[in-house]
Each structure stands twice: as C-alpha cells, then as structure tokens.
Structure 1
Amino acid sequence: MRQRSRGRATLAAVAAMCAVAALPGQAYGADGPAAYTFDPKAKAVKGAAVNTDATDLTAGSVYRSSIKFGEKLYYRLNLEATTNAYVSAVVVPKDGGKVAYGDGIAISVRDNSDLGCSSENARFGSAEYPRPIAAYAYRTVDKDSSSCQGAGVYNVVIERQSETTSGRGEWELEIRYASEPQLAKEPSTPPEAPEDWPSASPKPATRAPDNRRHGGGSYYDATSLETGEWKDEVVPGQTLFYRVPLDWGQQIFATAGLGNSTVPDEDEYISGALAMSLDNPAHGHVDSASAMAYSGKPASMSLDPVPPVAYRNRFASDTRVSAMRFAGWYYLSVTLSPEVAKSYGSKPFPLTLTVNVEGKAAGTTPYRGEAGIFGVTQDDKDMARNGQSGSQAAESKSRSSNMKLLGAAGIGAGAVLVLGLGGWMLLARRGRAAAPAGTADAGQQQPYGGPPQAW
C-alpha cells in the first residue's frame, strides 16, 4: 500500500508540473491586447442588494464578483475588536463600454448601524476610456475613537456610479480582504502626520544593458521593478501592471513616456492618451498622474512626489499621504487609450518607465509577528532585481516543491528496492543453511531470477 501511495504522489507531482507549465501568460493576441488577468484563486461571490443577505468575506482571500449599472452591493465582515481590516475592489469594465469623467465606484466599510468607517472613490477621470481602476476602504482600531470600534458585523458597500449616457454593460470586480498585523508596541501619543517631504526630482535612473521588462495584466501578475529605466511596449487599449517594493522610510518617483510614432505625416492631437496610477499594497489608490496628451512625438508624464513610507502617514487628512501607510509592494499601472489606434495604428508603441526608489530602508517592522503583505523581504528584493512577477515566483516555488516530491518518491522507491533485495538474499541464505547433508548444491538448483517484481 505504501508503494502504491508513493506512485500516486509521483504521478500527482508530474501532473502538477505539467499544469504549471501550461499556465497561459499575457501576450498580444490577434484580436488586440490581453484582458485583465484575474487572480486564479479568486472565489466567486455575489453581492447582495440587502445587507442581511450579504456573503461573509474572509481575511487573506480574493473574490470575483460583478456589478450592474446603478447597483449598490453589500458584502459582510465579521471583525474582532483588534482587527485592522482593508477591503479593496478593482473594477474591470467589459470591452466596448463607454465611460465618462465621473464614472467609477465608491467603496466603504460601515458598521451595523450604517455609520461609515472609511470610504474611497475610484474614477476614470480625464482618461475617459474603460480600464481597471481600484479603491479601498477599511476599519482600523483607534483607542481614541468611539466609532467603528469593537467586535461585530461590518458591511462592505460597493456602489457603481455612472452617468445616464454611459455604457450599461456589467462591470467585473476583483475584491480583496487583507488584515494588517497589530503593532508590537502602541505609541504613548498618536504620531503626527508629516507636513512636508523631499520633492526634488531625483538623479536620472541608470539604464541597464538588459532593461526590457514586459508589464503584467493585473495586480496578480504585475512585473517586479527596482530603480532603473525600463523599456516595454503597449498597444492601444491595454493596461500594464508593475510593482515596486518599498520598505519603511523609502520614497518612490515614477515617470512614464511614449516614444514617437512611425506613422508618416501624422500629428493628430489626442488628449488623455496615456494614464498612470500608483496603488499601495492593499490595492488602495495613492495617486494618478494627469493624463498625458499625445501627438505622435515623444511625450512623458510623472507622478507627483509622495511621502516616504511611514506608519504615521495614516493620520494625515490628505489621502495621497495616508495611503503611504505601510511597507510592501506598490503597484504602477499604465494604460494607453484605444483612441490612439485611430490615428497611429494598433501596433505596439514604445513605452519607457523610469523608477527611482529613494531613502534608506528602516530594516525594522512596527508589527507584532509576521508583516505579511505589509513588509519587504529579501525574496521581494530579489524578485525586483530579476523582474519576476508574483505569479512567476509562485510557479517557481511550486516546481521546486514538486521536484522535491519527485526526489523523495524516487528515494522511497530505491529504499523499497534495496529492502527487497536484502530480504530476498536473507531468505536465500536461510534456504542454503537448512539444506540436508549431501545437497550442498541445492541452493544452486534454482536459477537466479532477480528480486520479486512486487512494484
């Protein structure tokens, strides 16, 4: 039975390796850019129109849902008194849906008396074309606050906001619920939010000889970057995702630029041609650059300087500052307007992304226990240096585990073989020792046929 179990384990490992190898990646298809890559571990969940019918969300989980025109949906949290809960929603309009400046979603966390704990809006803004946009809301523990504290039921409310002239198609949602660890030591007095921070443009990042990094199709498979100038290509209508590890005390600067068009005698002016956003480790929106216009000539845009990562940032009233509240992976997304294709064609456009991470990492965490997604590890730094995405790292880890399983199964089969040979030889010796006098050659009368073929 043990031998049979080892065989099953080996076959399972081989099947798992084949499945990993067959995972589809982001690529340019004949019908245009690849779609948003939803997390394959996302669980299907349906939002409720009435809060008492809402489905429970579990910390550390990812969900896939959808929202229709004019809908307001409820999801449910069961929180302990000490839980710092963050829930984010990525909205993904289906192809062809028309969106306006004020279209988007509003997400909030509310207690069971409908008192708001926090809320955030995600808007398409001046880049009026469908693309993934994200927002988050949270309930955090605050001993100086009397609202949204204590254990109990809390509601996550996601509301679609669209103008009457906008598309009526369904929007897909990717919902994440993350729990922030508790502080190792509570401060005696609440830290004050920063009022100023370095804002001067950093020294231009060095361009490495091998500086091509192709962005992923979502937060799930975002390509890891470190300080440097990175080359890519983007097709009209496509959104590319990148991620940068920021430790406590570090600050990010980012610039995106489009190369010139090779279409002859074309200088059509397109407003809002390129959009760029920055989101934090909980997929909460930090800031967006003003959408960049394009007229076939080289053009670039930059994010406004944000403060270095610090726990105290959360006490700021400015959402750009408060969103820089924890260490971890920060996400950059870049979208090229589908309108660009009408004047300059649908072929890939040269894209340059320049990233500067400034400041010395603090090297310590304020949390009790593991920081999880709210920290930076050596593995994270290695991934940024090698350009790995989170999904690639997970696949690599899975392959390594499967190889270890195959190795263990091989060793186990070898051990069974050795034991079998030993047992057969012991039986043979006992047979010779028990043979009657005058039959000293009795043990040679049976031809050697090898060990029993029990496997």
Structure 2
Amino acid sequence: MGRRTQRWRGRTVLAGTAALLSVAATAGQGVAADTFPPYRFTAGAERVDGAARPSDAVRLTAGTTYRSTVRDDGKLYYGLRLDGTSSAYVSATAVPKPGTKVVYSDGIKVSLLDPDGHKCFSGDAGAARFGPTESPRPLTAWASRRAGPGTYSCKGAGTYAVLVERTSGDGSSPDDWELELGYVSEPALKEAAPSAAPTAAPEVWDSASPQAVDGPVRTRKGGTSFHTARSLEQGVWKDGIRAGQTLFYRVPVDWGQQIDATAELGPSDGDGFLGNALVMSLYNPVRALVDDADTGYGGARQRAALEPLPPVAYENRYAVDDQVGGMRFAGWYYLAVHLRAGMAEAFGDGPFDLTLRVGVRGAAGKAPVYGGPTAPRDVFEVSAGDRAAASNGSAAAGGGGGADGDTTMKAVAAGGIGAGCVLVLGLAVWTVTARRRAAAEAAASGPPVADGRVVRTYGRSRGR
C-alpha cells in the first residue's frame, strides 16, 4: 500500500505539472493570436467619474492623467482650478471597444466653461469625428484656456469646468467608450524675457513641400497608445499594420524645428478600391491635433503626407490657422496611423507593409523663458535623453521597445518564466516523493550492504 501510494503521488505530481504547463502554454498562445493589442492606457492613470453638473465635478490636477467612461450621447463635467496667468490645455481620448459600429458623425467634443458657465473660445477645434473611414479607433479632442496678451475670453482666475460630450449618429453602437483625460498647465512667460513681446504669429516661414526623406530603412514597431508610442528620429521606418489597427509613434521637435511625415502603405493582393483607407494624424505635446492626412487604397502602393508645417515657435499660438497654432510648443509630437477596418473585406487582415518617412529640419533654437514650472515638468523641452530615446527607439512608457513587440515579448517571457518555475517546482516535488518512496522501500527490505557498510540510496551523496 505504501508503494502504491507513493507511485500514485508521483503520477499526480507529474500530471499536475503537465496541466500547469498546458495552462502556461495556452496563455502564450492567447498572446500570439491574430488579434492586435488594444489601446494601452497610461499606467497608474487615476479613475474618475464625470459629473452630470459642473457643481459636482471632480477637480483635475495639472500634470496628471485620468481614466473615465462616457455613455452614448453622454455629457460629463470635470473641474479645474485656474489662476489668472497660466494657460490650460485639456485633452480627451475616446476609445471604443474593438468591433464597435461607428458612423461618420460619431465622435467626441471637449469644451472649457468659465465660472459663470460660458464656453471659452480660443479658436481651437474641440471636436473629433471618425469621418468617412467609419472605422473605430482612438479619437482625441482638446480645448484650451489661453492667458496672456490677446482678446481671449476666460482670462480670470476661478473654478472652471471641462465638458466632454459624445456625439453620436444614427446607426452607431450604444456601447460605452473609455476615456483618457490629460491636463497640461503652461505658465506665463517671464516678464524680463525678450521673447515675451511678440503677440502675432510669424508671417514668413518656409512653407515649401519638403523633399522626401531617404536613407536606410530601419524597423520599429509602433505602440498602441500615446503612453506607449514608439520613439523615432529623422529617417525611414518600416512597420506592419493590420486592418482596424492604430499605431502610435513620437518624434522630439525642438524650438525652431519643423517636422514633416509621410506614411506609405505597401502593395497587396485584393480587389476593389477603398477610400480613406489609411489615416495619419499629428498631435502636439498636449495631444492637440495639428494636422492629418489620408489616402485611398486599391492594392497598389499609396502614400499620405502631412501639409508643410511652420517651425515650432511660441508666437504660433496667435495664428488663426489651427495647423500653425498647433506648432506652439517644443517637445514630443505624436503620429497616430490608422488602417481602416474595412480593409479586411477586400484585402485581408494583413499585416500590410507600412513605411514612415519622418523629417526634422532646422537647428534647435532658443527656448522661451517661462515664469514658473510647467505641469508635467519639462513637457515643452527636448532633452539629450529625449534625443537618445528617439535614436534607440524606446517607447514613451520606457523599456526600450514598441508596445506590440514588448507586450508579446513580456508575455512570452512571463509565460516562459512561469512555465519554468512550474517545471522546477514539479521536479522538486517529484524528487522529494521519489526519495520518500525509496526510503519506505529501504525500511521494508532492510538496508543494503556493500563491503559491510551501508550505501545510501537517497540524499545528496553516495559516499560510503
């Protein structure tokens, strides 16, 4: 009975180990499936609920990222406490669930309201829609309160409200959308700074279409969100994108520099033509939309290029044109590239070859002198560390890799480590069980004898 029990236990241990290894393998297979990772929200983002009335709104803190949820046709309020000298920028990224049905007019809108409930007008486009792609993807809208010289409303200090509205069209899905909220505070310029004088946007700048960036093609996998955007420097970058996927990249652009970008979709087999198949959007350091470009696709190579943009300058904020006004800060600029979900029906799921040509022209100029710290700190600066990140390709969240590749590799590593730990544990238990069985057998039959001395059949040594 003792021997049978020990053998049964050994089989149980091995069976349990095999089962655990099977679970680990299954988890690894789940990561390797033909589905791309979803939008990866900022790590540690604070959960907040939007209020139905401004008076009940939770107050947001500058430099902090938040998560929330908005319902179909929902209106949510969040609070801000503003002084009379700082500019405030609030962004909301709406993330529908994969497979959500959306139509042209579906989107998100962000507004700022002063203490009396009046909407602040600053000339910024506060709405974002899915448009003709009618393809679910992360949408980002923004609004601002601009302080300083100029005839802007909402200049006084007080408690302001952020209004986030979901605009829905007929036939769209009523599912809730996840939200990522950002709030950036920009202090006024230091009064003694020479750059404090200009109150108008530059009228002359190089608006000629830049020459196409050429050079060796390097591979970098894009991230799935602003938080995991893959860092790029000037050059030609190769990636792969699936139907319905949005990839994020970021490029450091310093004061006085110009950015240009082109996205190319490689050839593939298939029939027909799909309009607005590829969409590329450029966002500035406060996640405000600067420009976007799109192209149709019929199986042959197609490209979408941004319009020529001015050099980064503080006084660009005084421009009437939103494209010029968006180039008002130095810092990380984000490229979001989306491939329309409808591509799958005509050309397959992919991945399709994606080539990005990114140019950063001009020497870094002198930065304006602020009268206090920004929040987040250094958000409008390009440091040596930022340039190194762009060179080595680290992701915005750190770790030195793109979100998709990193997620997969981390999952594989975790699965491998987990499976290895299970295997080691299983072998250790099996070894102990085997030793106990041997001891029981030895006790039943008496100690083996060799040359008059006991020879141990278990333990670390077989010494005599």
TM over 0.5: yes
Q: How many Å separate the matches in 1 of 2:130 and 2:152?
A: 35
Partner in structure 2 of residue 332 of structure 1 = 335
Q: Secondary structure at the match of 2:398?
A: helix
**How far has the Cα of 1:38 moved from its partner?**
0.3
Partner in structure 1 of residue 427 of structure 2 = none
Q: Structure 1 stretch 124-133 or stretch 181-190: which is displaced more?
A: 181-190
Q: How many Å separate the matches in 2 of 1:302 and 1:381?
A: 24
Q: How many Å separate the matches in 2 of 1:54 and 1:29?
A: 42
Whichever residue aligns with residue 239 of structure 1, its letter is T
Q: How many Å separate the matches in 1 of 2:104 and 2:323?
A: 20
The C-alpha deviation readout for 1:352-393, integer Å capped at 9, x for no partner, is 000011111104343235561111111111111111112125
**1:248 aligns to 2:251 (yes or no):** no
Q: Give the alignment partner of residue 274 of structure 2, picking from 267, 270, 274.
A: 270
Q: How many Å separate the matches in 2 of 1:243 and 1:189?
A: 31
Q: How many Å separate the matches in 1 of 2:50 and 2:92?
A: 12
Q: Is the 8 A contact 2:190 2:196 kept in 1?
A: no
Percentage of matched positions with identical amino acids:
47
Relative to structure 1, the CA distance from residue 226 to residue 146 in structure 2 (aligned partners, 3 Å threshold; closer, same or farther) is closer
**How far has the Cα of 1:194 moved from its partner?**
2.7
**1:55 aligns to 2:63 (yes or no):** no
Q: How many Å separate the matches in 1 of 2:384 and 2:371?
A: 19
Q: Give the alignment partner of residue 149 of structure 1, picking from 144, 151, 155.
A: 155
Partner in structure 1 of residue 102 of structure 2 = 99
Q: How many Å separate the matches in 1 of 2:106 and 2:311?
A: 31
Whichever residue aligns with residue 72 of structure 1, its letter is K
Q: How many Å separate the matches in 2 of 1:168 and 1:197?
A: 46
Match runs of 1:234-313 below 5 Å: 234-261=241-268, 263=269, 266-289=270-293, 291-313=294-316
**1:34 aligns to 2:40 (yes or no):** no
Q: How many Å separate the matches in 2 of 1:181 and 1:151?
A: 13
Q: How many Å separate the matches in 1 of 2:129 and 2:159?
A: 28
Counting matched residue pairs gives 366
Partner in structure 2 of residue 212 of structure 1 = 219
Whichever residue aligns with residue 157 of structure 1, its letter is L
Which residues of structure 2 form unaligned runs of 5+?
Answer: 1-26, 402-464
Partner in structure 2 of residue 227 of structure 1 = 234
Whichever residue aligns with residue 88 of structure 1, its letter is S
Q: Secondary structure at the match of 2:185?
A: strand
Q: Secondary structure at the match of 2:315?
A: helix
**How far has the Cα of 1:146 moved from its partner?**
7.0
Q: Is the 8 A contact 1:365 1:375 kept in 2?
A: no
**How far has the Cα of 1:195 moved from its partner?**
3.4
Partner in structure 2 of residue 133 of structure 1 = 139
**How far has the Cα of 1:221 moved from its partner?**
0.8
Q: Secondary structure at the match of 2:275?
A: strand
Relative to structure 1, the CA distance from residue 394 to residue 203 in structure 2 (aligned partners, 3 Å threshold; closer, same or farther) is closer
**1:160 aligns to 2:163 (yes or no):** no
Q: Secondary structure at the match of 2:222?
A: coil
**How far has the Cα of 1:344 moved from its partner?**
1.7
**How far has the Cα of 1:299 moved from its partner?**
0.9
Whichever residue aligns with residue 367 of structure 2, its letter is T
Partner in structure 1 of residue 18 of structure 2 = none
The C-alpha deviation readout for 1:71-108, integer Å capped at 9, x for no partner, is 11100001122222111111111122222222211101
Q: Give the alignment partner of residue 182 of structure 2, picking from 172, 176, 183.
A: 176
Q: Is the 8 A contact 1:207 1:230 kept in 2?
A: no
Relative to structure 1, the CA distance from residue 188 to residue 58 in structure 2 (aligned partners, 3 Å threshold; closer, same or farther) is closer
Partner in structure 1 of residue 384 of structure 2 = 378
Q: How many Å separate the matches in 1 of 2:221 and 2:78?
A: 35
Q: Is the 8 A contact 1:92 1:171 kept in 2?
A: yes
Q: Is the 8 A contact 1:45 1:64 kept in 2?
A: yes
Whichever residue aligns with residue 360 of structure 1, its letter is A
Q: How many Å separate the matches in 2 of 1:286 and 1:191?
A: 21
**How far has the Cα of 1:143 moved from its partner?**
4.7
Whichever residue aligns with residue 221 of structure 2, its letter is H
Whichever residue aligns with residue 203 of structure 1, its letter is Q
Q: How many Å separate the matches in 2 of 1:360 and 1:56?
A: 40
Q: Secondary structure at the match of 2:389?
A: helix
The C-alpha deviation readout for 1:318-348, integer Å capped at 9, x for no partner, is 1111111111000000011111111222231
Q: Secondary structure at the match of 2:88?
A: strand
**How far has the Cα of 1:31 moved from its partner?**
4.7
Which residues of structure 1 form unaligned runs of 5+?
Answer: 1-23, 396-455
Q: Secondary structure at the match of 1:343?
A: helix
Q: Is the 8 A contact 2:129 2:139 kept in 1?
A: yes
Q: Secondary structure at the match of 2:132?
A: coil
TM-score using structure 2 length: 0.75
Q: Secondary structure at the match of 2:140?
A: strand
Q: How many Å separate the matches in 2 of 1:298 and 1:28?
A: 30
Q: Is the 8 A contact 1:88 1:134 kept in 2?
A: yes
Relative to structure 1, the CA distance from residue 217 to residue 85 in structure 2 (aligned partners, 3 Å threshold; closer, same or farther) is same
Q: How many Å separate the matches in 1 of 2:147 and 2:199?
A: 15
Match runs of 1:413-452 below 5 Å: none
TM-score using structure 1 length: 0.76
Q: CA RMSD in A?
A: 2.2
